[in-house]
Amino acid sequence: MAEDEFSVLAEIFCLPGELTQWRDGEKIHVKVIISEQCPHVEGHEVTLVFSLSEDYPSESCPQIEVSSYSIKCDDIRDKLQTYAHSNVGSPLLLDLINYAKDLIQDLHSSNTSDCVQLATHRENSVTDTQSSSPLPPPPSSHTKNLKAKSLTSQNIGSQTGIKDVQNWTLLIHIDHMRAKAKYIKFIKKWCRDFQLSGQLIFFKKTILLFLIGEHNNLKSYLVQHKTVCVDVDSRGVGCKEKMMTVLCEEPYLKDSLNIIRSALQIQECSSLDEVKDIFTNASSQHLFVNYVSKLKSIHH
């Protein structure tokens, strides 16, 4: 599997348990858990397992398994596999995941009653679904769990009594911008497209992007940021972002009623206190303390 491809997935699916990789003989297995909203179904998740041969992606495509307790997956799997077979030679995992999301949403729109019926029998189907899985659980010695650097909404909800967290925060450290105007133009466009509010912060050699919005929209934003040529290399040739770091992705528990959607503010800070004030005003002081203040570039 191409290293660049997996690094993109790791940036997008960075919560505990969302992305798992393990080796079984000559094959590499990648498991991705995606959560898609479906009416009347609580905690709706779909699990995708991609089995990759050593000659992927040049000469083979992933073998795909799809499972869920609340929707029928055979048709989704068949369509994904057909798409994979017709695109041998190209990295496919991110495309397949996005295609799966589209298929799931189409299924919800056309057949909501099936979702409700299957959700009613969800608990009874858990044992059968697990026992019929074509792949064994990944051995612990070969398993690589990519864990987030923040709490999940479920954990925070249990601690604070909040049951439904609509908005999340995303904090990104961008290493550099050679084509600054072009880069900022892309970020502004994606904030509009995905209805995100945000602060693009410049201080000395440090560049931070602090975004607030719905969780799925933030993930869609990350896909764009990692897969589109947003900058130029040292030769002036367009290039994708490979050096940014997701510092934190977590639920935003403060009052979100006054958030201005689709708005990106550019902040040119002359002191560290100004940077700190941005996070304080957003009721996110802990992000400054836990992540921003620990960056080496912020103190040089």
* Mean pLDDT (10-residue bins), the chain, 300 residues: 72 81 87 70 75 88 88 88 87 87 75 48 43 40 36 37 65 91 91 91 94 89 86 82 87 62 83 94 91 87
**How much is the pLDDT for 208?**
96
Count CA atoms within 13 Å of residue 234 on its CB side: 0
Q: Note the pLDDT tens digit of each residue in 90-111.
A: 888 988 988 888 888 777 666 5
Count CA atoms within 13 Å of residue 134 on its CB side: 10
CATH class of the domain whose range is 157-299 = alpha beta
**Residue 42 and residue 66 in contact, taking contact as beta carbons nearer than 8 Å:** no
Separation of alpha carbons 8 and 212, rounded Å: 20
- Dihedral (CA of 163, 19, 75, 106) sign: positive
**How much is the pLDDT for 59?**
86
**How much is the pLDDT for 121?**
43
Supply the pTM of this predicted model: 0.54
CA 29, distance to chain mean position in Å, is 19
**How much is the pLDDT for 293?**
92
Amino acid identity at 106: D
**How much is the pLDDT for 111?**
54
CA 287, distance to chain mean position in Å, is 19
Separation of alpha carbons 137 and 127, rounded Å: 14
Q: Residue 258: count other Cβ atoms within 10 Å of its Cβ.
A: 7
Amino acid identity at 161: G
Count CA atoms within 13 Å of residue 118 on its CB side: 21
Separation of alpha carbons 178 and 194, rounded Å: 25
Q: Note the pLDDT tens digit of each residue in 17-61.
A: 888 888 888 888 999 988 765 544 444 688 999 999 988 888 899
- 29 phi/psi in degrees, rounded to 5: -110, 135
> What counts of helices (H) and strands (E) characterise the chain?
10, 12
Q: Note the pLDDT tens digit of each residue in 7-28.
A: 778 878 877 788 888 888 888 8
**How much is the pLDDT for 71?**
78
Domain boundaries, the chain: 3-147, 157-299
Closest C-alpha to 210, from 273, 296, 282, 268: 282
* Homologous superfamily of 3-147: Ubiquitin Conjugating Enzyme (3.10.110.10)
